[in-house]
Amino acid sequence: MVRAAVEASPELPALVADAAALPVTDACCDLVIAYMSLQDVDDMPSAVREVGRALEPGGHLCMAIVHPLNSAGRFASLDPDAPFVIQGSYLDSHAFVDTVARSGLEMTFSSVHRPLEAYFRAFEDAGLIVEALREVPVGKPSSDDPRHQRWRRLPLFLFVRAAKGSTTLTEAWSLSRNSRRLELPIHGRECGTRLDSRIDGMSILRWRS
Ligand SMILES: C[S@@+](CC[C@H](N)C(=O)[O-])C[C@H]1O[C@@H](n2cnc3c(N)ncnc32)[C@H](O)[C@@H]1O
């Protein structure tokens, strides 16, 4: 794939590297795109940490993954109305292998099921603030294939856009401990008012518009 990219745009530099150890300097880029890859990366938290390190403050990560619902369970049948069944635990991560054949070509994907929280905790730890999230079903089916019809009812993909803050929200929170104001870590803008309530250890903030 990288060879094809280099052939298509020889003027652009390309590197092959482990996403969990990017050979780039800190804050060297304003955009990282991780397209359908983070669900296949063994050490996803380190890869996301590397994204946070490589992005300049205000830079963005655009990510698309197979929605974790997909790897948590399966449809009971090919029927378009088939129930979706989760037999094990949605919350526990586990590795799995999927083999797909298309047009006579067989591909094997080694992936990890992780709950949504695993990705969002990784963003939190990397100082990445989610700005937009989309749960995406398959597009209008080009055929009557019932496998496609079923994925019109549930999200097959997850798209996220996140911004790199100048400090993590946790750092900003501790910095503002003696104040009732909180600076949002993007661009150091003050835009939150502390409410002294917590749910499951999470501070509740009321944002000033
Ligand atoms: C499902 S493929 C998607 C490839 C491509 N983005 C696309 O949409 O066709 C997942 C990709 O993640 C890559 N990958 C898995 N673990 C990786 C890691 N630790 N570092 C870098 N790439 C990794 C695999 O080599 C594979 O190319």
Task: Indicate whether 121 and 190 sit together in one domain.
Answer: no
- Give yes or no for a contact between 133 and 160, defined as CB atoms under 8 angstroms apart: yes
- The pLDDT assigned to 207 comes to 47
- Give yes or no for a contact between 173 and 185, defined as CB atoms under 8 angstroms apart: no
- The pLDDT assigned to 200 comes to 54
Domain membership of residue 79 (yes or no) is yes
Task: Indicate whether 127 and 209 sit together in one domain.
Answer: no
Domain membership of residue 18 (yes or no) is yes
pTM for the full predicted model: 0.82
In which band, very low, low, confident or very high, does the pLDDT at 168 lie, cut at 50, 70 and 90?
low
Task: Indicate whether 130 and 194 sit together in one domain.
Answer: no
pLDDT at 188 over 60: no
Judged by DSSP in three states, 196 sits in strand
In which band, very low, low, confident or very high, does the pLDDT at 208 lie, cut at 50, 70 and 90?
very low
Q: What is the DSSP letter of 70?
A: H
Task: Indicate whether 178 and 153 sit together in one domain.
Answer: no
Judged by DSSP in three states, 80 sits in coil
Locate the ligand 1 atom nearest the alpha carbon of residue 34 and give its number. Answer: 6
User: Residue 117 C-alpha to ligand 1 middle, in angstroms?
Assistant: 21
Domain membership of residue 66 (yes or no) is yes
User: Residue 109 C-alpha to ligand 1 middle, in angstroms?
Assistant: 9
Domain membership of residue 9 (yes or no) is no
Domain membership of residue 43 (yes or no) is yes
Residues in CB range of 124: below 8 A, 6 or more apart = 168, 169, 170
Task: Indicate whether 131 and 179 sit together in one domain.
Answer: no
Residues 59-91: pLDDT tens digits? 999 999 999 999 999 999 999 899 999 999 999
Task: Indicate whether 170 and 153 sit together in one domain.
Answer: no
Domain membership of residue 191 (yes or no) is yes
∠ at Cα 190 (187, 191), nearest 5°? 110
Judged by DSSP in three states, 191 sits in strand
Domain membership of residue 4 (yes or no) is no
How many contiguous H segments (helices) and E segments (strands) does the chain have? 6, 11
Task: Indicate whether 128 and 197 sit together in one domain.
Answer: no
Task: Indicate whether 122 and 207 sit together in one domain.
Answer: no
At 58, which amino acid appears?
Answer: G
Task: Indicate whether 139 and 205 sit together in one domain.
Answer: no
User: How many angstroms separate the CA atoms of 190 and 83, rounded?
Assistant: 47
- Give yes or no for a contact between 126 and 171, defined as CB atoms under 8 angstroms apart: no
Task: Indicate whether 184 and 159 sit together in one domain.
Answer: no
Task: Indicate whether 130 and 176 sit together in one domain.
Answer: no
Alpha helices in 73-161 (DSSP H): 116-125, 146-150
Query: Into how many domains does the chain fold?
Result: 2
At 87, which amino acid appears?
Answer: Q
CATH number, residue 124: 3.40.50.150
- Full domain range(s) for residue 91: 14-165
Ligand 1 pocket test target in 3, 40, 100 with most atoms within 8 Å of CB:
40
pLDDT at 110 over 90: yes
- Give yes or no for a contact between 55 and 62, defined as CB atoms under 8 angstroms apart: no
Q: What is the dihedral angle through the alpha carbons of 198, 200, 167, 193, rounded to the nearest 10 degrees?
A: -20
Locate the ligand 1 atom nearest the alpha carbon of residue 40 and give its number. Answer: 15
Task: Indicate whether 138 and 148 sit together in one domain.
Answer: yes
Domain membership of residue 7 (yes or no) is no
